[in-house]
Structure 1
Amino acid sequence: MQLVVARIGRAHGIKGEVTVEVRTDEPELRLAPGAVLATDPPSTGPLTIATGRVHSGRLLLRFEGVADRTAAEALRNTLLIADIDPEELPEGEDEYYDHQLMDLDVVTEDGTEVGRITEISHLPSQDLFIVERPDGTEVLIPFVEQIVTEIDLEEQKAVIAPPPGLIDDRAEIDSSRDSDSAKDES
């Protein structure tokens, strides 16, 4: 199975290094020197990582055969793809690879069907499930333990406890004005 593990950003310096947007929880494993990665577009790869280092909070990689800034800049926006065993599991107990979560049925704790996970968006603050409802609309579910209470890979479902308004239009809004005006009317 192939997974996107990074996207190449701009060139850094003049010796062929590039910044990368990491898309894996295991960069030390997937983006280590010696790793051979497929690419999208396929014509730019495969690429073998020669060196890697962190500079000012960003991962910098240099690839074999990429010796200058011009060659590095030509790789910009290329996706780096790693081959992994589909049976391989992440190290953490409550961690999942995207491919394990894709197409899971999403249900509420009382068993109400919400939809199916069609995409996972990795944002800086948290991950989001993009869930397609039976009527074709989409709902965004934050992948946090207060909302996603259970992932059951055997049953192929994700159980959620959504706060009011997350999956329906019936948000409960507490307003101090409402309670104050009710007191004034008395």
Structure 2
Amino acid sequence: MLESIENQYQKIGYIARSHGVQGEVLIISELDAPTLFDSLDLVRIENARGDLVPARVESVRVQEKHNRLSFFVQFEHVTDRTQADRLKQYAVYADREQVEHLLDRQDDPVDMTSFEVRMNGSRIGTVEEVLYNPAHPILQISTRNLEQLLVPFVDEYVTEVDEEHRQIHCRNLEQLGDV
């Protein structure tokens, strides 16, 4: 007995537009998985009739812009811009088992409460709470002086999260207050 399309395939995004003259397309992902195409060499593109047509992935470049993942994908059978333009707005599907396996490998967010915060080898304090806002998380740190320090969880300040040793390594914290 054949499985339904919904059980067999999962929508992973849609083709937003063509890119360049070699037939590359921009796929906007519906999944938060930067490694999505690492294990996908074959996807299905839904055509105007609703059929899922196989498309072999030749190459992929990942871009994160405005907190959204997009993929520049070159399909084997698309060789020029005209062919790529015909795919605009079509949905892209992948084998459900491959996608679910990939998503299962992604860990749940780490609870960083009580992580030790360090800068230049010195202990700065301990994470008391992680505050979530639309732009990025903010670490509320209780410093050695028992003061509160709010640190945006961005590359400017956080250089590494060491889950094994429960430490967060930072830089530039002097910009945020007395450290």
Normalising to structure 1: TM-score of the pair?
0.43
Higher relative contact order (CA 8 A, sep 6+): 2
Normalising to structure 2: TM-score of the pair?
0.45
The structure where strand makes up a greater share of residues is 2
